[in-house]
Every structure is written in C-alpha cells, then in structure tokens.
Amino acid sequence: MKKFWFLLVAILVLSLGLIAAGCPATDDNSNGTEAEEHDDDHDDDDEDEHDDDDSNESADSDADTTGAPSISITVPESGSEVAGPDVEVTTEVEAFEVVNKPGEEAAEGEGHIHWNVDGGLDTPTYEAEFTVTDLGAGEHTIQAKLHNNDHTLYEGADTAEATITVTE
C-alpha cells in the first residue's frame, strides 16, 4: 500500500511540476488534479510552418467578441451532484475569443482559460471544454478565468465558479 501512495504522489508532483514549468501559476496551492491537456507546442523554429494552418484559430470561431468579456461554467451546474472521479466541464465565453497562442503578446478580446479546483494551482486550457481528473468524493469548487495570451489575467472579466458534489 505504501508503494501505491508513493507512486501516486510521485506522479502528481511530476505532473504539477511540468504544468508549473510551462505556465506561471497564480496560486502556490496544489489541488491534486491533473490537466487533461496542456499543449505548448510553439517553438519559434516551427512558427513559419504554422502560419498557413488553423492551429491558432479560435476554439469557437463564431464567438461574439462585442461587449464586456465574460465566462460562465454551464456544465456541471453549480449545486449539482456528479459522478467522479473525472468531471467534464463546459464553459460559455462571451465577447472573448478562446485561442491557442500561449506566450504571444496580449491582444484585446482574445486569450485562453485558466481553471482550478478548490483554489489550487491554475491550469491553462485553450478550449471552452476541459476535464478535471481524479476528484475525490465530496464538495469541490471549480473556477475558470479568462487570461491573455501571455498568461496574465484578462482585466475586466469575472471569475466563473461552480460548486459541485462528486460521488464515486
């Protein structure tokens, strides 16, 4: 049993270390979850290869980018019970284009999402849908925030929040 816990802790520490190395965190707390995705394939050498493809296109090309930017968590609904340990999360973003341009300059009306569980380490995603993995049974609060391409918080946008109860 000790071997199992040691292995689990080692995997979590390595995963969180890799995430923290690629993207600055806004909180030093760890939440014990792993990101399903974290794609930072943006070498300067490969930049010319991607100029003609759709790799930097919006996750939602029909996004309304007029008005004040906002984000909300639509699935799961706050107050709901969901089966765990993995939870699919869907956000709705308005007046903001979710794009895969990590490390580029901040640009008005575009960027990506950072999410966390229970106030832990922020995890970036470049899609409006993501999966929170390995949630234990009980109450958890999922937060999602809009960030600029350079990973700074997007000014003027509120934090979306959903508190759920995970069942196993």
pLDDT of residue 55: 40
Q: What is the CATH number of domain 2-167?
A: 2.60.40.10
pLDDT of residue 78: 97
Which residue, among 159, 153, 164, 129, has the nearest Cα to 37 in the 3D structure?
129
pLDDT of residue 67: 80
**Spans in the chain with pLDDT lower than 70:** 1-66
**Cα(95)–Cα(69) distance, integer angstroms:** 4
pLDDT of residue 57: 40
Q: What is the pLDDT of residues 71-108, one digit of tens each?
A: 999 999 999 999 999 999 999 999 999 999 999 999 99
Domain spans, the chain: 2-167
* DSSP H or E stretch at residue 93: strand 87-94
Q: Which two tokens stand for residue 95?
A: 């007046």
Looking only at the bridges linking them, the beta strands covering 123-125 and 97-98 are unpaired
pLDDT of residue 121: 94
pLDDT of residue 4: 52
